[in-house]
């Protein structure tokens, strides 16, 4: 389908809520696209805690966040919803020139027409926290990276990981056998990373496969065309030492921002969008679901987000085509899955 062709539903956010919205859109025969600022689907689960177990998703006694995302992506995209990753939503206008009306959704990379919008933007668009070192941005792409997209890109390199959370520790483990040397620095001696991963890194240190410096920060980066070494400083003693490295990867978490969504005239409560019982915002045709919504009794959980996605999409389908019932029927009876009514 041509990306400039109008879609029934455009979902802002490819977290669990947005993925389930895409599934329900497809199940109801509605065309759909997902837009997300991150380079990968999965929202908070992939950005903040891919290696953590989740215990309160129906049907699983426990499931790793990244495994849940893998299966939600397979389920969500099975009907052909397209995805636009690495695109931040910047603007929204309403066009009424065809007598029916639709939205034009603007992103950092394009403009997309859509009959309805489902905002599943969670806590906002994520951006990696930068290394707190003035001028370090000149090294971006020349040895300084804020994420590991393909571990093979660090083959044979001396890698410095900065941070004390899951991402920094996970990569200290997962770059083993790929990177030539792995050093981890953290400005404190307490880690946010999962205790099991910290134990794995301790074991790697014990056999000389990884180095860890606590109370340590990057004071300067040196090199020519690319990074060649860094100056590290001990936060307490102020002692400095140089370390030869090919790559510096700060994994300091993300900050999030609702950005343009705040400017669309939506009723909000703090940073959340107010919705009614059918997940409609105060602007007709714009629905919201998941962590971004606010209503009495709201719980910010995966289970509630996916239920809200179901309500939002079924009501959007009915708004687009009033002959289509809000109630989707039972999936176990639907012809789209090869089932028959019983």
For ligand FAD, the closer of residues 17 and 314 by Cβ is: 17
Cα gap 139→147, rounded to integer Å: 14
For ligand FAD, the closer of residues 12 and 27 by Cβ is: 12
- Residues in the interface with ligand FAD (CB under 6 A) total 36
Which residues ranging from 220 to 259 are in contact with ligand FAD (CB under 6 A)?
A: 259
Question: In 3D, which of 160, 157, 146 has the Cα closest to residue 39?
Answer: 146
| Least distance from ligand FAD to the Cβ atom of residue 143, Å | 26
Range in contact with ligand FAD (rule: CB under 6 A) among 9-17, 142-150, 188-196, 264-272: 9-17
Question: In 3D, which of 340, 312, 249 has the Cα closest to residue 28?
Answer: 312
Chain residue whose CB lies nearest ligand FAD: 122
Asked if residue 306 binds ligand FAD (CB under 6 A), the reply is no
User: How distant, in Å, are the alpha carbons of 43, 164, 165 from that of 191?
Assistant: 23, 5, 6
DSSP conformation class of 252: -
Asked if residue 54 binds ligand FAD (CB under 6 A), the reply is yes
DSSP conformation class of 130: P
Identify the residue among 8, 13, 169, 245 touching ligand FAD (CB under 6 A).
13
Identify the residue among 17, 183, 197, 281 touching ligand FAD (CB under 6 A).
17
Which residues ranging from 96 to 155 are in contact with ligand FAD (CB under 6 A)?
A: 120-126
Asked if residue 201 binds ligand FAD (CB under 6 A), the reply is no
Asked if residue 14 binds ligand FAD (CB under 6 A), the reply is yes
> Is beta strand 7-12 parallel, antiparallel or unpaired with respect to 111-119?
parallel
CB crowding 226-247: b at 16 or more within 10 Å, else e: ebebbebbeeeeeeeeebebbb
| Least distance from ligand FAD to the Cβ atom of residue 181, Å | 30
| Least distance from ligand FAD to the Cβ atom of residue 203, Å | 24
Which residues ranging from 22 to 51 are in contact with ligand FAD (CB under 6 A)?
A: 35-38, 43-45, 48-49
Asked if residue 165 binds ligand FAD (CB under 6 A), the reply is no
Residue 288 near residue 275, CB atoms below 8 Å = yes
Residue 122 near residue 17, CB atoms below 8 Å = yes
User: How distant, in Å, are the alpha carbons of 280, 289, 318 from that of 277?
Assistant: 7, 11, 15
| Least distance from ligand FAD to the Cβ atom of residue 12, Å | 6
For ligand FAD, the closer of residues 113 and 223 by Cβ is: 113
> Is beta strand 158-162 parallel, antiparallel or unpaired with respect to 181-185?
parallel
Residue 43 near residue 16, CB atoms below 8 Å = yes
For ligand FAD, the closer of residues 45 and 248 by Cβ is: 45
| Least distance from ligand FAD to the Cβ atom of residue 167, Å | 12
Residue at token pair 């705040």: 262
Question: In 3D, which of 20, 35, 5, 96 has the Cα closest to residue 290?
Answer: 20
| Least distance from ligand FAD to the Cβ atom of residue 244, Å | 35
- Largest distance between two CA atoms of the chain: 75
For ligand FAD, the closer of residues 17 and 281 by Cβ is: 17
Identify the residue among 178, 220, 301, 324 touching ligand FAD (CB under 6 A).
301
Using CB under 6 A as the criterion, which residues of the chain lie in contact with ligand FAD when the complex forms? 12-18, 35-38, 43-45, 48-49, 54, 56, 88-89, 120-126, 259, 261, 290-291, 300-303, 305
């Amino acid at each position: 389908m041509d990306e400039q062709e109008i879609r029934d539903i455009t979902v802002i956010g490819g977290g669990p809520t947005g993925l389930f919205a895409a599934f329900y859109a497809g199940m109801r025969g509605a065309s759909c696209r997902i837009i997300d600022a991150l380079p990968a689907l999965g929202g908070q689960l992939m950005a903040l805690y891919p290696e953590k177990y989740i215990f309160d998703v129906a049907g699983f006694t426990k499931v790793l966040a990244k495994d849940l995302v893998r299966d939600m992506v397979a389920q969500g995209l099975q009907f052909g919803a397209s995805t636009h990753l690495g695109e931040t939503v910047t603007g929204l206008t309403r066009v009424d020139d065809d007598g029916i009306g639709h939205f034009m959704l603007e992103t950092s990379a394009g403009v997309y027409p859509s009959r309805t919008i489902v905002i599943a933007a969670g806590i906002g668009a994520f951006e990696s926290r930068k290394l707190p070192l003035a001028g370090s941005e000149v090294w971006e792409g020349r040895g300084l990276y804020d994420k590991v997209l393909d571990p093979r890109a660090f083959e044979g390199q001396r890698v410095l990981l900065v941070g004390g959370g899951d991402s920094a520790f996970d990569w200290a483990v997962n770059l083993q056998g790929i990177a030539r040397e792995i050093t981890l620095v953290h400005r404190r001696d307490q880690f946010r990373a999962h205790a099991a991963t910290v134990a794995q890194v301790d074991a790697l240190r014990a056999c000389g496969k990884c180095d860890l410096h606590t109370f340590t920060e990057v004071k300067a980066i040196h090199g020519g065309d690319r990074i060649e070494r860094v100056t590290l400083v001990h936060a307490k003693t102020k002692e400095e030492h140089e370390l030869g490295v090919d790559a510096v990867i700060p994994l300091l978490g993300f900050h999030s921002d609702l950005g343009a969504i705040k400017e669309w005239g939506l009723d909000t409560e703090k940073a959340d969008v107010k919705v009614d019982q059918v997940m409609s915002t105060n602007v007709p045709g714009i629905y919201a679901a998941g962590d971004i919504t606010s209503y009495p009794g709201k719980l910010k959980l995966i289970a509630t987000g996916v239920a809200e996605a179901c309500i939002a999409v079924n009501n959007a389908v009915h708004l687009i085509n009033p002959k289509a019932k809000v109630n989707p029927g039972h999936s176990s009876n639907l012809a789209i899955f090869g089932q028959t009514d019983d």
